[in-house]
Chains A and B, each alone.
Chain A
Amino acid sequence: MLTVTGLTVRFGSTTAVDRLDLTVRPGELFVLLGGSGSGKTTLLRAIGGFVQPDAGRITLDGRDIGALPPHRRPVNTMFQSYALFPHMTVAANIGFGLRMLRLKRAEIDARVSEMLALTSLQGFAARKPAELSGGQQQRVALARSLAPRPSLLLLDEPLSALDRNLRRDTREELVRLQRALGIAFIMVTHDQEEALTMADHIGVMHEGRLAQVGTPAEVYEHPRTRFVAEFLGAANIVPVTVRNGRPELAQTGTPVQVAMKLPDSAGAPMWLAIRPERISIGQSDAPNRVTGIVTQNSYAGETLTHLVRLADGTLLRSTGTLRDGLGAQQVAIGDSITLSWQPDACIVLTQ
């Protein structure tokens, strides 16, 4: 439904979005994930019409919307700062887009109450935004942007101003609403947990381009670049070399069994990425095994992570889920332990 081709946005000498291609399917929740300066917000603003692209096309349902001013685009935005109209009540805020559509009074009222109900804001209709909590303001902003029933909703860091517990609830609420309404969402975030839990597809942005697009499981378990592997979750990344068609750790020459087909690197440097939760400690039948000294333990309640230094100085992280609590069997700093992992935990990267 939304297709972006060759989009380029420059600010002076910096290129914020660089020849970017993107396709968003009808009714899906697409998350643009990236760090600050990755161009994700600029891309969103270009789709909303607030930034003029220097090159490229934006089409929505086959129609080129690239040249339309924001008020003519059938796209709404939920702003990071909410941008609620301070002089209007909650109901007037939500009804603003409907009034612009010149709907009948009765229909506006009906839709406003529908949106109030949908976002659990009944009873707040007559309040001013300043009289609401942050979470309530966030819901008004969402209701306001959804009320005109756009074919595509753009959300700029919609949860970043909420505190942590509220953010988790709101995340689920947002997905529920998106599913119920069937409106395609493009959401910008820098929070990888948000991206993984909410998205149908994630586009990882890096330096103005999409480093990888895929389902959360695809981008997490099969990252195509070191950047994606490191940006989404923690990853142990160690250089590897290939000898006689078999990879081995570059520092020690320890052979590594991998399940995936080795990429054709033509002698370029290669890296091995292993997720910390895929590395077990202690004895196991996994074919890949190394030993090292525990240098740090970090307890995070539900998980325990050991930082282990191998003989050549390489640091590896191993994370275990504390399903039975921390218990008595603990690994102390300075202990020598064995780390092991399965061949299918290995991701070989060339860039």
Chain B
Amino acid sequence: MKPGAGRALVLGAVWTWLLLFLVAPVAIVLKIALSESADSIPPYAPLLQLGASWLPQLHVSFDAFAQIIGDPLYSEALGLSLKVAGLSTAICLLAGYPMALAIARSPERWRSLLLLLVMLPFWTGFLMRINAWIGLLQDDGWINAILVEVGLSPMRLLYTDTAMYIGIVYTYLPFMVLPLYARLSQLDARLLEAAADLGAPPWRVFFSVTLPLSMPGIWAGVLLVFIPAVGEYVIPELLGGPQAQLVGRVLWEEFFQNRDWPTAAAIACALLVLLLLMPASVLWGVSLRGHSPSAVAPGKASPGCRPR
């Protein structure tokens, strides 16, 4: 075997994987989106057809794209999805950052346990957990029982936006905490000491050292939460109200209720392009600023901070 053969094999496996499970499905979806709707099985006309004189004929239709651009239903659904995902991501960040920081600063022997607790919900099925939330949030559920117990009036929670946000934040919080923790636990404690030494009170140390140096972790967490949250279907369906016409739900309805596969595929394509542009622009921005904090440690320096 030539020295490059192993490398080619590994790369080949990666490319095969991408081709089979990313490029091919996307190509199929794009094909459906560019087809004409038809009353047949499957419910769209073939894109490529052999004509009368055995010449291949291409039937490309932009009707589906024209429809999702023209009808405000779709852009509104997309806008609402972006808003819900954005707000959920913001709540995850505000809740997750202190959690990640607390875990990163806790004594070494506690950290694994705390991280385990963050990930523990994943041990049970997703639908089980959402159903548990239904039990907690419903009109005669536990939360309202507690409200009544302490003398407050019960609230309508289930099938509201509040319940939907609770569900999304609850589900995606670990995806925010873990990358933030990974970043914050590697933060050089000596930098914090140096900032304090130069006169920075604790809050300034946070804003001028901890926060900027954790930006890559913030971006990773934001992307990990935001992207799946935009297309989220199950949580709004089970916990949210009928008014929440999110893009995932619209897509589902086009596909299963209206049997309009080209329109559903066009929505999927639009969403994909949008979600690809976002991380690309973030990655581009991060690489422009060129964060490489690990490269600073001088060659021979021993890990300081230890009493000698």
Which residues of chain A (31-79) have a CB below 8 Å from chain B?
Answer: 36-42, 45, 48-51, 69-72, 75-77, 79
Q: A residues within 8 A CB of B200?
A: 71, 96, 100
Let me know if A144 and B190 touch, CB within 8 A. Answer: no
A161/B299 contact (C-beta < 8 A), A11-B307, A41-B307, A130-B292 known: yes
B208 near A: Cβ within 8 Å?
Answer: yes
Task: Give Cα A69–Cα B295 distance, bound, in whole angstroms.
Answer: 30
Among the stretches A83-91, A107-115, A301-309, A336-344, the one at the interface with B is: A83-91
* Residues of A contacting B299 in the complex (Cβ-Cβ under 8 angstroms): 134, 161
Are the C-beta atoms of B298 and A138 separated by less than 8 Å? Answer: yes
Question: How far, in angstroms, from A216 to B188 measured CA to CA in the complex?
Answer: 36
On whether the beta carbons of B190 and A85 are closer than 8 Å, the reply is no
Quick one: which of A36, A39, A50, A86 contacts B193, CB cutoff 8 A?
A50
Q: Are the CB atoms of A40 and B301 closer together than 8 Å?
A: no
Closest residue on chain A to residue B204 by CB atoms: A100
Assuming the contacts A37-B308, A45-B307, A160-B301, asked whether A85 and B191 have C-beta atoms less than 8 A apart, the reply is yes
Complex interface residues of chain B between 271 and 308 (CB less than 8 A to chain A): 290-304, 306-308
- Report if B201 contacts A (CB, 8 A): yes
The size bracket of the interface on B is 35 or more
Contact B198 A76 (CB under 8 A): yes
Cβ-defined contact, A87 with B212, below 8 A = yes
A82 within 8 A of B: yes
Q: Is the CB of A71 within 8 A of B196?
A: yes
CB distance from A183 to the nearest CB of B (A): 15
State the CA gap A50–B195 with chains docked (Å).
12
A276 within 8 A of B: no
| Minimum distance in angstroms from A135 CB to a CB of chain B | 9
B308:A81 contact, CB within 8 angstroms: no
Neighbouring B residues of A148 by C-beta, 8 Å: 198-199
B218 CB → nearest A CB, Å: 13
CB–CB B304/A80 < 8 A: yes
A203 at the interface (CB under 8 A from B): no
B196 proximity list for chain A (CB < 8 A)? 49, 69-71
CB of A83 within 8 A of CB of B190, answer yes
Given A85-B209, A96-B195, A134-B298, 6 other A-B contacts at CB below 8 A? A42-B307, A81-B190, A83-B191, A85-B194, A85-B208, A87-B293
Are B307 and A161 neighbours in the complex by a CB distance under 8 Å? no
Question: Which chain A residues in 10-38 approach chain B with CB under 8 Å?
Answer: 11, 16, 36-38
Contact with A along B251-272 (1 / 0, CB 8 A): 0000000000000000000000
- Interface status of B197 (Cβ within 8 A of chain A): yes
- Inter-chain contacts of A134 with B (CB < 8 A): 298-299
Interface residues on A, range: 35 or more
Contact A156 B194 (CB under 8 A): no
Taking the closest CB of chain B, its distance from the CB of A56, in whole angstroms, is 16
Partner of A81, one of B213, B292, B295, B297: B297
**Residues 180 to 196 of chain B near chain A (Cβ within 8 Å):** 188, 190-191, 193-196
With contact pairs A70-B193, A76-B198, A100-B198 given, residues A81 and B307 touching in the complex (Cβ less than 8 Å)? no
Contact: B213 with A39, CB < 8 Å?
Answer: no
In Å, the complex CA distance between A222 and B94 comes to: 63
Chain B positions within 8 Å of A50 at CB level: 193, 197
Assembly CA distance A137 to B301 (angstroms): 12
Q: Which 10 A-B pairs have the closest CB atoms?
A: A100-B199, A86-B293, A97-B198, A130-B295, A83-B194, A81-B301, A41-B308, A161-B298, A83-B190, A42-B307
How distant is B199 from chain A, measured CB to nearest CB, in Å? Answer: 3
Can you list 5 A-B contacts (CB < 8 A)? A39-B308, A41-B307, A76-B198, A79-B190, A161-B298
**How far is it, in angstroms, between the C-alpha of A80 and the C-alpha of B302 when the chains are bound?**
8
> Which residue of A has the minimal Cβ distance to B297?
A81
Give the chain B neighbours of A38 by CB distance below 8 A: 308
B198 touches A87 (CB 8 A): no
Cβ of A129 under 8 Å from chain B: yes
Closest to A41 in B: B308
In the bound complex, residues from chain B placing their C-beta under 8 Å from that of A138 are 298
A268 within 8 A of B: no
State whether A82 touches B307 (Cβ < 8 A). no
In the complex, which residues of chain B have a beta carbon less than 8 angstroms from the beta carbon of A39?
Answer: 307-308
Residue from the set A11, A38, A71 with the largest chain B CB neighbour count within 10 Å: A71
A16-B307, A80-B304 given; A137·B193 CB < 8 A? no
Q: A96 contacts B297, CB within 8 Å?
A: no
Cα(A239)–Cα(B300), bound, Å: 40
Q: Which residues of B contact A81 (CB under 8 A)?
A: 190, 297-298, 301-304
Known: A39-B307, A83-B193, A87-B212. A97 touches B199 (CB 8 A): yes
Please determine whether A82 and B195 come into contact, CB atoms closer than 8 angstroms: no
With known contacts A87-B293, A96-B208, A137-B296, A79–B307 Cβ distance under 8 A: no
Question: Which of A39, A83, A156 has most chain B Cβ within 10 Å?
Answer: A83
Q: Flag whether A128 is at the interface (Cβ < 8 A).
A: yes
Give Cα A71 to B208, complex, Å. Answer: 14
Residues on B with beta carbons closer than 8 Å to the beta carbon of A145 = 197-198
| Cα separation A96 to B204 with both chains bound (whole Å) | 11
Contact with A along B199-237 (1 / 0, CB 8 A): 111101000110011000000000000000000000000
A101 interface contact, C-beta 8 A: yes
With A and B bound together, what is the CA distance between A85 and B293 in angstroms? 8
Residues of A within 8 A of B295 (CB): 86, 130
Q: How far is the CA of A262 from the CA of B193 in the complex (A)?
A: 49
How many Å lie between the Cα of A70 and that of B204 in the bound state?
13
A48 and B197 form a contact (CB under 8 A): yes
Name the B residues within 8 Å of A37 (CB-CB): 308
